[in-house]
Structure 1
Amino acid sequence: MSHTPHELPEEFPEFADKMHELKQSDAHFVKLADEYHAINRQVHRAETNVEPMEQLAEDQLRKQRASLKDEIYGMLRA
C-alpha cells in the first residue's frame, strides 16, 4: 500500500495546462477536482494512520477516488 498522495498534477503531469484551463472555465471540472482532492486527502490520512478508519471504509474511498479520477481523465482527454 502506497503512502504517497495521489494529487492530480502528479497523476496527470501531461495535462497540467489543461487542468488549469478547466479550473478556470468548467464548474463541473472544479467540483470533480475538489471532490477528488477531499477523498484523496481522507485516503492519505487513513494510510498514514493520522486518521485511521476501518479497511472497508478506506477501500470504499479508494473506489470513489478511482471513479472520480477516471471521469477527470476523460474530461482531460476530450
Structure 2
Amino acid sequence: MTYKPHDLAEEFPEDIEVLHHLKATRGHFAVLADRYGEVNGKINRIEEQLDAASDTRLEDLKKERLTLLDQIGRMIRDARAVGA
C-alpha cells in the first residue's frame, strides 16, 4: 500500500514561499514546522511498516499532526493577510 507523505510543501503547494519566509523569520513557526516533520516522519514509518506501533499510538500521532497542521495553516493565512 502506498501512503501520502503529507509534507508541508504538499499540504500548502501554493504557499511554498510563505512557508520558507515564516520558517526563516518566525521561531515559533519553525518549531511547529519541525515538530510537524518529526510527527509526519513517525507516521510514515509506521504506515510503511518500518516501525511498530499500536493503533492507539498511530491515532495519537495523526491527531497531533492534524493539530500542528491547523496551527501552521492559521499562521500561513495570517501571513498572507498581512502580505508577508
Instruction: Specify the TM-score bucket, using the shorter chain as the normaliser.
Output: over 0.9
Q: Which residue of 1 aligns with 2:46?
A: 46
Structure 1 residue 31: Cα displacement: 0.1
Q: Percent identity?
A: 37
SS at match of 2:6: coil
Unaligned runs of 5+ in 2: 79-84
Structure 1 residue 24: Cα displacement: 1.0
Which amino acid in 2 is paired with 1:55?
D
TM-score by length of 2: 0.89
Structure 1 residue 64: Cα displacement: 0.2
Deviation string for 1:20-74 (max 9, x for gaps)?
1011100000000000000000000000100021000000000000000000000
Rounded Cα–Cα distance in structure 1 between residues aligned with 2:11 and 2:2: 14
Rounded Cα–Cα distance in structure 1 between residues aligned with 2:70 and 2:2: 19
Q: Which residue of 2 aligns with 1:33?
A: 33
Runs in 1 of length 4+ with deviation above 6 angstroms?
Answer: none
TM-score by length of 1: 0.96
Rounded Cα–Cα distance in structure 2 between residues aligned with 1:18 and 1:2: 29
Unaligned runs of 5+ in 1: none
Structure 1 residue 2: Cα displacement: 6.0
> How many residues matched?
78
